[in-house]
Chains A and B, each alone.
Chain A
Amino acid sequence: MDYMIRFTQVHETFRLAEIEALAVLEGIHLEVLSYSPSSPFCFVKLPSEDAARRLVKRSILAKAIYEVWGSGSNYLDLHDNVRGLSQHVWPLYKTCSFKFSVDSFQGSRSTTEQRKLIEEFRFLGFDGPIKMKGAEQDFCISEEFQFDAAALGVHQPQAVHLGRYLGGSEREIIGKYDLKKRKYICTTSMDAELALITANITLAAPGKLFYDPFVGSGSFPVACAHFGALAFGSDIDGRSIRGKGKGKPDLVANFIQYGLTNQFGDSFVADLTNTPLRAAKLFDGIVCDPPYGVREGLKVLGCRDPTKGKEPIFRDGKAHHTEESFIPPKKPYSFLAMLDDILDFATLSLVDGGRLSFWMPTSNDLDQEIQIPIHPCLQITSVCTQEFNRWSRRLITYRRIPDSEVVAGVAREQRTKETGVNADDLNPFRKGYFQGFKAAFSSGKLSTSLAALRPDYEVFD
């Protein structure tokens, strides 16, 4: 029999990427029979019922998985299909307690209507007691109405399915990790749902080592730790790791809040372009949301003026940089160059088969789109998009392929390192964002149409 995944109808482009990653993690052969971004019902072939349960148990975007007893474009078809597909298993459920429910997507049914639909399945011949709570078997009638069915006065669904419930997902933990209830967050903290999805796509799991080089308040390490990984993080801004001072919450406070201290690896202050990590295959996963310069400027170590600061500075006979209060100078850096640096770093630091996921923004105008960076040692496994009004951000995931599989001779396009010194010159996305995207590439006329952007993205540092 086939299986049906009941997805939520949010973050559509992330759904298959997450399920496919979970299939890899569980070592399950998954074949997608039908999937549509506009439908929450996805039909798949799986080796067993047990595999089906394991596939969705960690999922954030799936709600549940069902064994498919039948499908049809109307109830008459469905009843016939159920007779054809599942009659051989009916005797197995003849005497157990059971329950039926109706799941109407983009439509609704009154309890009377639901009861009528359910009673039409009398032909299954179940004699066991009906239990609304704690039934041994749970059957679900899934209806798909067309978009806007209610407004169009359409009362019949365009497709109906009958499924036997096998298992649920971990979707409810989004509430536990909700940023509103988190002890320590900053302006760039990643939404709990997306952080957990990212951890799933990157295959975070017990015994694995994960690293976020732009850790901020630790959204990704917390999500990876939730799935059992030992999570490390660093940031060029020590304040984000330390918090606002003694007694105030810091990055570790989040691990304490969620009871994840066993999964806390370490946090340290470092710049990815001058990383202290030794070049060795240390991590199973690298997850990050690099600063793209809108809320947080992208900076690395060094002086804006390349001629300055080549010698240590001495004050009263003491080298200034050895003093505790010393703050090293930083300079703006190109976002595109940073993406290349992340790929190079991941190539050196990931174990074979390890994954890199990062978020990058792009304009929704095709001519201003930022290209997805590539690397011969990193195979792109998925590209997911979260759309906003004028821009979108993508979650790009790569797999480190073993050196023996790297195709020799594929020259990597070397990005010319931008030489600009101010943040706008170095960062086309930032420039586009603040100039309302179109203007940045047309006449050069400045049109700061920030009001057109989502209000929650108007907070800048």
Chain B
Amino acid sequence: MKVLTLNFLTCAVKACKSSTASFPLHPKDCELVSDTIEANPALIYNILPRVDWAALMTTASELGFPTLPAQAPTKEELEADEKMMGELHTLLLETQISEGMLRCGNCGHEYRVKEGIANFLLPNHLV
């Protein structure tokens, strides 16, 4: 599962949706892999406004990536900064969680990631 996808996901439990603690989910005992994906600046520009930057900063530090700037870069900044563009590409699209758990900071429920596929199905008492 890509870091980009993790930024789109919160806890599946309805009662958690209103709590800020439920997002982002926290990776636990995660194995990371990296795929090589062709650079696609147009995609990054389109993705950036949809990324929750504060959550991405949290995820990056939890996964051991270098600290991100406090503010999301603008399109102009990215056009001028190839290194930053490359790092974002690597973090958002190439880095994947292959095995591990994703924990909700609100209810504590853990979602398993197996062979890169996260499972968000809930037991009946959480539906």
Contacts and interface: CB of A to CB of B under 8 A. Distances in A.
A binds B: yes
Interface of A: 206-209, 230, 232, 234, 236, 238, 241-242, 261-262, 265-271, 274-282, 284, 301-303, 308-312, 320-322, 324, 326, 328-329, 351
Given A276-B12, A281-B50, A282-B50, A270 B120 contact: yes
Interface in B4-56: 4-5, 8-14, 17, 23, 35, 37-38, 40, 42-43, 45-47, 50, 52
B43 A269 contact: no
List 4 A-B pairs, minimum CB-CB distance, nearest first: A309-B124, A321-B123, A270-B120, A207-B42
A232 to B, nearest CB: 7
A234 B118 CA distance: 10
Interface stretch (B57-65, B66-74, B76-84, B109-117): B109-117
B124 A276 contact: no
Contacts of A322: 110
Given A276-B11, A277-B8, 15 more contacts: A206-B43, A232-B5, A261-B37, A266-B2, A268-B5, A268-B118, A269-B118, A269-B121, A271-B122, A274-B120, A278-B9, A281-B50, A302-B127, A324-B112, A326-B123
B103 to A, nearest CB: 12
A208 B114 CA distance: 27
B55 to A, nearest CB: 9
Contacts of A279: 17
Contact of B124 (A230, A265, A284, A308): A308
Given A276-B12, A278-B8, A301 B122 contact: yes
B11 A265 contact: no
A270 B12 contact: yes
Nearest to B2: A266
Nearest to A274: B12
21 contacts: A207-B40, A232-B5, A238-B121, A242-B117, A262-B37, A262-B40, A265-B4, A266-B1, A268-B1, A268-B5, A268-B117, A268-B119, A269-B121, A275-B12, A277-B9, A279-B17, A280-B8, A301-B121, A303-B124, A309-B123, A312-B125
B125 A311 contact: yes
A261 B35 CA distance: 10
Contacts of A284: 46
A236 B46 contact: no
Contacts of A308: 124
Given A208-B46, A278-B9, A301-B127, A241 B117 contact: yes
Contacts of B119: 238, 268-269
Nearest to B37: A262
Contact of A207 (B4, B37, B46): B46
Contact of B127 (A267, A269, A274): A274
A310 B8 contact: no
Contacts of A242: 115, 117
Contacts of A209: 46-47, 50
A265 B121 contact: no
A328 B1 contact: no
Nearest to A321: B123
Contact of A236 (B23, B118, B121, B124): B121
Given A207-B46, A276-B9, A238 B124 contact: no
A36 B124 CA distance: 53
A206 B118 contact: no
B18 to A, nearest CB: 10
A221 to B, nearest CB: 13
A201 to B, nearest CB: 20
B83 to A, nearest CB: 21
A303 B47 CA distance: 38
B40 A302 contact: no
Contacts of B47: 209
A36 to B, nearest CB: 39
Contacts of B122: 271, 274, 301, 328
B43 A207 contact: yes
A282 B123 contact: no
Contacts of B123: 309, 312, 320-321, 326, 328-329
B112 to A, nearest CB: 7
Nearest to A268: B118
B117 A265 contact: no
Given A266-B5, A268-B5, A322-B110, A207 B121 contact: no
A399 to B, nearest CB: 18
Contacts of A267: 117
A269 B124 contact: no
B121 A271 contact: yes
A232 B6 CA distance: 12
Contacts of A206: 40, 42-43
A265 B119 CA distance: 16
A265 B47 CA distance: 12
A278 B125 contact: no
A391 B121 CA distance: 33
A230 B112 contact: no
A276 B10 contact: yes
Contacts of B11: 276
A209 B112 CA distance: 24
Contacts of B114: 324
Contacts of B35: 261
Contacts of B117: 238, 241-242, 267-269
A351 B47 CA distance: 12
